[in-house]
Amino acid sequence: MESVSCPACGQSNGYSPMWKVPDHLWFPDRYFQLVRCHRCGFVYLNPRPDDKAMQDYYPDFAHPSAPMPTAMPPAFLWRIQQIESREKEGKLLDVGCGNGLFLAFAVERGWDGYGLDNSPGAIHAAKNRLGDRVKLMTLSQADYPSDFFDMISLFEVLEHLPDVTDHLREIHRILKPGGWVCASVPNFGSLERWIFQKWWVGLDAPRHLQQFTAESLHFFLKESGFDEVAVRSISADKIQMKKHAITYCQESLRYLLRDLGLYPRRIPPTAEEFPAMGNEQPAAWKKGIHALEWMVFYPFCLLARCLDKENTLWAWGRKS
Residue 76's CATH number: 3.40.50.150
Closest by CA to 118, choosing from 135, 105, 93, is 135
Specify the amino acid at residue 254.
Answer: R
Residue 153 predicted with pLDDT over 60: yes
71 confidence band (pLDDT: 50, 70, 90): confident
Mean pLDDT, the chain, integer = 92
Mean pLDDT of 198-204: 97
Closest by CA to 86, choosing from 176, 147, 213, 219, is 176
277 confidence band (pLDDT: 50, 70, 90): low
Residue 276 predicted with pLDDT over 60: no
Looking at per-residue confidence, does 153 or 59 come out higher? 153
Q: Which contiguous run of DSSP H or E holds residue 215?
A: helix 214-223
How many CA atoms are closer than 13 Å to the CA of 119, on its beta-carbon side? 21
How far apart are the C-alpha atoms of 162 and 293, rounded to whole Å? 35
DSSP conformation letters of 232-301? EEE-GGGTSTT--TTHHHHHHHHHHHHHTT-SPPPPPPPTTTGGGTT-SPPPHHHHHHHHHHHHHHHHHH
What pLDDT score does 179 carry?
A: 98
Mean pLDDT of 202-222: 98
Q: Are 175 and 147 spatial neighbours (Cβ–Cβ below 8 Å)? A: yes
Give domain status of residue 299, yes or no: no
Digit-coded pLDDT (tens) for 289-313: 888 999 999 999 999 999 999 999 9
Give domain status of residue 280, yes or no: no
Give domain status of residue 75, yes or no: yes
What pLDDT score does 60 carry?
A: 72
Give domain status of residue 255, yes or no: no
Maximum distance among all alpha carbons in the chain? Answer: 57
Q: Which of 191-195, 201-205, 217-221, 240-244 has the lowest mean pLDDT?
A: 240-244
Digit-coded pLDDT (tens) for 75-90: 999 999 999 999 999 9
How many CA atoms are closer than 13 Å to the CA of 232, on its beta-carbon side? 9
Give domain status of residue 187, yes or no: yes
203: Cβ–Cβ under 8 A, 6 or more apart, which residues?
A: 19, 21, 34, 211
Residue 281 predicted with pLDDT over 90: no
Q: Are 26 and 206 spatial neighbours (Cβ–Cβ below 8 Å)? A: no
Residue 36 predicted with pLDDT over 90: yes
Looking at per-residue confidence, does 64 or 163 come out higher? 163
> Helix, strand, or coil here: 180?
strand
What pLDDT score does 278 carry?
A: 61
- Structural domain of residue 99, as residue ranges? 62-199+211-242+306-318
Digit-coded pLDDT (tens) for 60-70: 766 666 677 77
Digit-coded pLDDT (tens) for 89-124: 999 999 999 999 999 999 999 999 999 999 898 898
Q: Count CB neighbours of 309 within 10 A.
A: 17
Q: What is the pTM of this model?
A: 0.94
114: Cβ–Cβ under 8 A, 6 or more apart, which residues?
A: 91, 92, 93, 94, 103, 133, 134, 149
Give domain status of residue 9, yes or no: no
Give domain status of residue 286, yes or no: no
Residue 191, φ and ψ in degrees, nearest 5: -65, -35
Q: What total number of domains does the chain contain?
A: 1
